[in-house]
Structure 1
Amino acid sequence: MLSDDDKKLAEILFGLLKTATSQTVVKDFLRTKGIPISAQNWDDLYEKRIEPALAEKKISVKDLRELLQQVEEFGKQHTFLFKCSPDRAKGLLNPTRIAAIAQDEGLAGLFTDPLDLDLPEQPTIVDIRLHRPDPQKLPASLTIKVVESREIRRLFSEERDAESGQFVKRYATTKKRAVNIVHLDHTGLLEFRIASQDNQAKKYAELLHALKSKVRKLLPDEGFEEVSLRTAKNRIHSDRKVYAEELRYSTSTARNEFGVMMQIASSNTDENLSSDEGSMNALDHFVARNGEVTGANIYVKLPDSDPPRELRLLISGERNEFAVTVACSAGEYEYVRGKVIAFNTSPS
């Protein structure tokens, strides 16, 4: 039997899963555990499948939390890349250092018991994880999760005032849980992954500044520099024939030394812009005359996916920013991030 505390925690985690993912994803998880998946709705799925499986110890509350981590920590994010030296990363990842800071900040309990918050009043650190594959060595990475509440506005009605000739718009507002991730690995690569906004009320640079402030005690700014993605943007365009089997091109933008901008875009999201030689040649000509590619909207083809699957990738905005615009698994995100880094490495 489940304890009252575990039952309450399971219900909270299930509620967060409902807002973070689909029934299909949860059912796929249950299937891997050998649990029947037939259910008419979310409530049915919990009462008839998940709750009995928890009671029979076929799955655990820990399993539900790990599933939540997988579905809400990857994709639908704007990622900002920074780097420091491996020696600097080694010092920052020292477990004694991190434990002492967490203790001083009242966060020590998060190593074993993350907070399962839905809509906190203020952005809150809810989870701190040191990934340590080899107990005899320093951690390979540090992950910090910050949850915040965001107000979502949707147009409710629009009326015209006959006397003034003005239009009056009314918006319905709701709150939504947003999950932001900070991740440092032993190589010195630091990622700030900010949940995409439904209504872009703030610039992502502002959200980045707030997130950096939230984790600054654990990860101070000193010793880090931005990872400019200039090389990646140019190579995605210039080496498009090389990457033809890996990428599908949708939009490219460029700017020259006089501030003149050029943009080419496919007629719809299913077409490949690189097949239009006239447009691509025009962009080649523009870039060759002191122009620079400033943004790319591409689709990354995922290997070994059946049916074939693509992830939309934007490399634009701030010089160290890229965005994966759809939900994805940890492995899919890591594949796309790896491609960005590979594109950004100058060919030898």
Structure 2
Amino acid sequence: MQDETKLESKKVEVLPVAMIEHAQKIALLMTQIERATSIGVVRNFLKSRGLKHSASSWEELRTRRIIPALEQESISVDDLYALLRRTEGFGRQHVFLYSCAPDRAASMLSEERLRPILRDRGILVAHGSPLLVELPEVPTIVDVVWCGTSENKYVLFKEVEKRTTRKPRPEAVDQSAKTITRIWDIEEHRAVNFARLWANGLFEIRIASKDNATRYHDDLAGIFDRLKPFFMRSEFREISLKSVKQNLWAKKSELKDCVRFSTYTLTNDEGLTLRANASLSTDDLAESEVLDKSLSEFMSDETTHCSDSNIYLNTSDGGEPNWVHVLLNGEDNEFAITAAIVSEEYEYVLQQIQAHN
């Protein structure tokens, strides 16, 4: 009887902790890649490796392309880290430019100086892989990378912060109590900021754009405060972008295949403003002779300057144009990129702004 009632034990497969953590890491990594870029960019990444890359959705791309490629060791987790580094934090951000003496920059960014400071604060993680965090309670430096050689060398700090926004629900009206109740849902978002110091003295701060803000003074102050152990604010001066706004328009004929103007605003010391707007984003103000004449007459006043310019830069080196939307407004040393792009496109935009400034 005892044998008849005896329950047959079932084997339960227990996955090793390391395997579970590995799967969770890949899932979080893919979530951050999906948020940072487009399906097309990831498909091109797979295509460049000679791998199957067709997919109509993120789910299909992840389950039918990325995971099998990892299992077959056609790509590695380090490759996904590299893809995240190439796509996250390029575009949908406000960029602030500063400079310092090249000899000071070379000293401040040296690995010999920074690594002990990073190590004391537990920032550098094993094997140089970035720290994967989604919504940290406090802004957290998750990655530090040195790239380039000699005058082109730079160090890049990547910071993740949790932002909260309020989303209103429909008002609840109680006629009997003569009350209106308003409730907001608190939504949490992951934002990524960057600081990069070049050996030539250029210093960039890139802040993830906010939906409800046009000024980033407090955000800048916070980032500089968190960077104090590495770089002091007093080391840097702002780089004015007044010249690039003027110069791009002055060179509009020779740059017609490279730059397109959507808005252009002139202001003089008397407070008078002349603003030109294109009706469509595909239009180019530089093609209008009448507009050019009006702006030229207004610019004849020596106190007139361009206060803001809304442009598109062509980042393609041939073939179909690839236009990146750039806003030259805000603070004197500020520009913004409105859409997500990849690192190569951002570097081109930065190079063009420096070249014409």
How far residue 108 of structure 1 moved from its aligned partner, in angstroms, is 3.2
1:151 matched to 2:167: no
- With over 3 angstroms needed to count, the CA separation of the structure-2 counterparts of 1:167 and 1:318, relative to structure 1, is farther
CA offset digits 1:22-44 (Å, max 9, x no partner): 22222221222232234564334
The 3-state SS of whatever aligns with 1:126 is strand
Contact persistence 1:130–1:141 (CA under 8 A): yes
Contact persistence 1:111–1:129 (CA under 8 A): no
The 3-state SS of whatever aligns with 1:213 is helix
Contact persistence 2:37–2:341 (CA under 8 A): no
Structure 2 gaps, min length 5: 1-15
1:83 matched to 2:99: yes
- Aligned positions of 1:97-108 closer than 5 A: 97-108=113-124
Q: What does residue 308 of structure 2 align with?
A: 295
How far residue 197 of structure 1 moved from its aligned partner, in angstroms, is 1.2
- The range that moved more, 205-214 or 110-119, is 110-119
Distance in 1, Cα, partners of 2:151 & 2:317: 33
CA offset digits 1:212-246 (Å, max 9, x no partner): 11112112123211101111111122332232222
RMSD in angstroms over aligned alpha carbons? Answer: 2.7
The 3-state SS of whatever aligns with 2:135 is coil
Contact persistence 1:110–1:128 (CA under 8 A): no
Q: What does residue 196 of structure 1 align with?
A: 209
* Among 208, 217, 241, the residue aligned to 2:229: 217
Contact persistence 2:36–2:89 (CA under 8 A): no
Distance in 1, Cα, partners of 2:324 & 2:244: 17
- With over 3 angstroms needed to count, the CA separation of the structure-2 counterparts of 1:61 and 1:231, relative to structure 1, is same
How far residue 183 of structure 1 moved from its aligned partner, in angstroms, is 0.7
Q: What does residue 326 of structure 2 align with?
A: 313
Q: What does residue 277 of structure 1 align with?
A: 289
Distance in 1, Cα, partners of 2:38 & 2:74: 21
Q: What does residue 22 of structure 1 align with?
A: 38
Distance in 1, Cα, partners of 2:152 & 2:307: 36
The 3-state SS of whatever aligns with 1:146 is strand
Distance in 1, Cα, partners of 2:285 & 2:32: 39
Distance in 2, Cα, partners of 1:316 & 1:340: 13
1:176 matched to 2:189: yes
Q: What does residue 251 of structure 1 align with?
A: 263
The 3-state SS of whatever aligns with 1:234 is helix
- The range that moved more, 94-103 or 239-248, is 239-248
The 3-state SS of whatever aligns with 1:311 is strand
How far residue 261 of structure 1 moved from its aligned partner, in angstroms, is 2.4
How far residue 310 of structure 1 moved from its aligned partner, in angstroms, is 0.6
CA offset digits 1:164-207 (Å, max 9, x no partner): x999876544222111111111111000011111232x721221
The residue identity in structure 2 corresponding to 1:298 is I
Instruction: Report the structure number with the largest CA radius of gyration.
Output: 2
Distance in 2, Cα, partners of 1:237 & 1:177: 37
Distance in 2, Cα, partners of 1:146 & 1:36: 33
- With over 3 angstroms needed to count, the CA separation of the structure-2 counterparts of 1:333 and 1:167, relative to structure 1, is farther
The 3-state SS of whatever aligns with 2:125 is helix
- TM-score, reference length from structure 2: 0.86
Distance in 1, Cα, partners of 2:289 & 2:182: 45
Contact persistence 1:95–1:138 (CA under 8 A): no
1:117 matched to 2:129: no
CA offset digits 1:103-154 (Å, max 9, x no partner): 2322232771321111111111111111255xxx698110000111222444
The 3-state SS of whatever aligns with 1:157 is coil
Q: What does residue 87 of structure 2 align with?
A: 71
Q: How many residues align?
A: 339
Structure 1 gaps, min length 5: none
How far residue 55 of structure 1 moved from its aligned partner, in angstroms, is 2.0
The residue identity in structure 2 corresponding to 1:142 is V
CA offset digits 1:47-69 (Å, max 9, x no partner): 33222221221111111111111
- Percent identity (aligned): 33
Contact persistence 1:93–1:138 (CA under 8 A): no
Contact persistence 1:130–1:139 (CA under 8 A): no
